[in-house]
Structure 1
């Protein structure tokens, strides 16, 4: 090997060592964003996930904890890598937050268990911090607490504007984010297993359909979350309804949110969309619902790419077995339609980051069934559709990882070659 060849070889080896060390240095495990894509440890990340809102509820009962483990095992076995669940239960049975700022330690330890089990099965978590609805307390419970403290409030929507209520919510955010897990010893804000925080499950303010109330609340609360935790991603929990700019895309109602304006808030890292044409277009036929779904998906993908310029996660979707004329084929076809659009966008480098169906149960949980439930071991045809999507998105992840690795390697090699030429000229 000649001198020039030896120098080239040494430069290449140095380049590779430097590249690997950079990859290792970047490997803190927290998910980040760049443009319209998720990254982890410097590599692209696409997600196929599920909703299991009940994890905290069952984890708080030692005799039922095995179901939490079971659902993570089944999910992992089908390639699922993200779960969305509640980090709240306000003033209800087995409440996490018994009253403003007062927590049941045993229930908090149940949430610790959820985090630990997810970590053991390589599944990340989106933790939602409050509920729009009365289930598990919701904004109504916060308003009632404030009324009991002497506040004169006329509507549940005062949740978004009353200083006392907002103070209660901010305190809850801080309590969860700074919680130190009794099993892992890691504070939640320092735990890479947590993928993102969600401000609220499906925030709605129908007393102000202009969207200004929700916009101001998201801006304030997003800044609050980021002031405590700079490690994790944040999303608002929005369903994807548009404001006046594109209200023709919505079903025939408004909820006081605006997909574009809300998600352009700087402290939100990615957008979310929920998809329930069987609820929103009740009475319509299957073809009408699927046509709406395809338009709904493509409008949000286009706007995430061109206007919001952030990743979009289809964070809830499903087909109910209680729908008239339901068949498992219809559900599978619905899932196929969702997954087809998600994959097509992801494979061409678009804004789609993945999807999460509602909802995944473990065997023997019939009391939690709402028509949308899927038990992977008991619904093999749907489970096969889900596993196939996991495989496809995994292939997309590997494809883009190779592309990014090659680009990074070329940049590092070019940098090293430039330095070598400078050193040679000085010599």
Structure 2
């Protein structure tokens, strides 16, 4: 959205989607938020930057052109691009008694700001987003965490009541909810983790349509040598307990890590893809995987070590393309059925 808001850089967005489609990719996940700070989408509650909205419109139109479905994330857990911290600061500036960033999940004024953002994203520009089939799903928050509550219950409150999903708020805003799915944006941690979320209970909310996992073993599983075992446990729990599809919505290895090599990155990507394929081939719940993150030349400001630029690593591109083609064959088989 940020790059596309500059008409002179829009060719980069076109190039990204064109390359993704060429290599068999069918889903992209991107931000539909930028709250406060420099060049925001949302200057302050309910006040929007039309130029940034035009950038988001362009992203959606290019995705449509190249047959890519989108997952749009509605707010960040972290301070980058504003996030929940910006929301609670807006409420604090209006006189609300805010104790921590976790008040995002419970404070009625903060939740009002967030609900208004959902309405704005659905209705401000171009083809109304709630009517756009290019959008596959809404993500409630990127990697929600409730750090003040080790039980995970704070996040649990976010899902059924804090956003009034069960009371129909999001359903009323997006009347094509049967076409637009809903996911929570969870990383996949289990109860009593430092993230204060629980993969099973948080995804069992009826209005959450599919579960998600973000997998960064070099950051989070440094003491665990069998990376595939963690993937298997999430697939098994999504299959047997949650009973919903599972999307690996982020995964990767950073070139900034000590001992990084392209071989190790490719090996990890192949491990994730292989587990997904094994499940999908047997009619299981694994629905796909989105590596973090796809960039093109000239997007250096967004490089974080995890970026994949198709022109820079032919071996990594080969892994991605091969696995995408295998998964697409399964998808087409089920489509015919």
Please indicate the TM-score interval, normalised by the length of the shorter structure.
over 0.9
Residue matched to 2:49: 104
- Kindly indicate whether residue 281 of structure 2 is the aligned counterpart of residue 347 of structure 1: yes
- Kindly indicate whether residue 22 of structure 2 is the aligned counterpart of residue 82 of structure 1: no
Alignment of 1:169-184 (within 5 A): 169-181=114-126
Per-residue deviation, 1:61: 1.4
1:364 to 295, 298, 317: 298
The answer to whether the 8 Å contact 1:226/1:267 transfers is no
1:152 to 94, 97, 113: 97
Unaligned regions of 5+ residues in structure 2, if any? none
Residue matched to 2:72: 127
* SS of equivalent residue, structure 1 residue 324: coil
Residue matched to 2:144: 203
Residue matched to 1:307: 241
Any idea what the Cα deviations from partners look like across 1:142-163, whole Å, max 9, x if unmatched? 0110011011212111111111
Q: What CA distance in whole angstroms lies between the structure 2 residues aligned with 1:281 and 1:242?
A: 13
* SS of equivalent residue, structure 1 residue 272: strand
Residue matched to 1:401: 335
2:15 to 55, 60, 70: 70
Per-residue deviation, 1:198: 0.2
Residue matched to 2:216: 276
Residue matched to 1:232: 180
- Kindly indicate whether residue 199 of structure 2 is the aligned counterpart of residue 254 of structure 1: no
The answer to whether the 8 Å contact 1:239/1:273 transfers is yes
Residue matched to 2:135: 194
Any idea what the Cα deviations from partners look like across 1:6-35, whole Å, max 9, x if unmatched? xxxxxxxxxxxxxxxxxxxxxxxxxxxxxx
Larger radius of gyration: 1
TM-score of the two chains, using structure 1 as the length reference: 0.75
The answer to whether the 8 Å contact 2:54/2:125 transfers is no
* SS of equivalent residue, structure 1 residue 57: coil
Residue matched to 1:336: 270
Unaligned regions of 5+ residues in structure 1, if any? 1-55, 245-252, 405-427
Any idea what the Cα deviations from partners look like across 1:289-315, whole Å, max 9, x if unmatched? 4x1x21211111111111111100000
Per-residue deviation, 1:90: 0.4
Greater share of helix: 1
Give the direction of change, closer, same or farther, for the CA distance of 1:205–1:90 in structure 2 (3 Å limit). same
* SS of equivalent residue, structure 1 residue 357: coil
Per-residue deviation, 1:281: 3.5
* SS of equivalent residue, structure 1 residue 133: coil
Question: How many positions carry a matched residue from both structures?
Answer: 330
Per-residue deviation, 1:179: 3.2
Aligned-residue Cα RMSD (Å) equals 1.2
Q: What CA distance in whole angstroms lies between the structure 2 residues aligned with 1:324 and 1:164?
A: 44
Q: What CA distance in whole angstroms lies between the structure 1 residues aligned with 2:125 and 2:293?
A: 28
- Kindly indicate whether residue 62 of structure 2 is the aligned counterpart of residue 117 of structure 1: yes
Q: What CA distance in whole angstroms lies between the structure 1 residues aligned with 2:308 and 2:136?
A: 23
Per-residue deviation, 1:377: 1.5
TM-score of the two chains, using structure 2 as the length reference: 0.95
The higher relative CO (CA closer than 8 Å, separation ≥ 6) is in 1
Q: What CA distance in whole angstroms lies between the structure 1 residues aligned with 2:244 and 2:124?
A: 29
Q: What CA distance in whole angstroms lies between the structure 2 residues aligned with 1:137 and 1:366?
A: 21
Per-residue deviation, 1:236: 0.4
Q: What CA distance in whole angstroms lies between the structure 2 residues aligned with 1:93 and 1:72?
A: 26
* SS of equivalent residue, structure 1 residue 58: coil
